[in-house]
Amino acid sequence: MGYAVFTARKLMLTNRINQLNFRIMQLSQQQQTLSKAAGDKERQISWIKGMFNTIGNAFTQRMNLQTQAAINQAGNDPAALQQLLSGSYAMQNAMAQQFQFAGMMIDFQSSGDLQSVKEMENQIEIERKNLETQVQALTAERHSVEKAEENEIKNSACLLITSL
DSSP characters for 56-102? HHHHHHHHHHHHHHHHHHHTT-HHHHHHHHHHHHHHHHHHHHHHHHH
C-alpha triplet 57, 112, 98: angle, nearest 5°: 30
**pLDDT per residue over 17-64, tens digit each?**
999 999 999 999 999 998 888 888 888 888 887 887 788 778 778 777
pTM, two decimal places: 0.63
Residue 80 has pLDDT above 70, yes or no: no
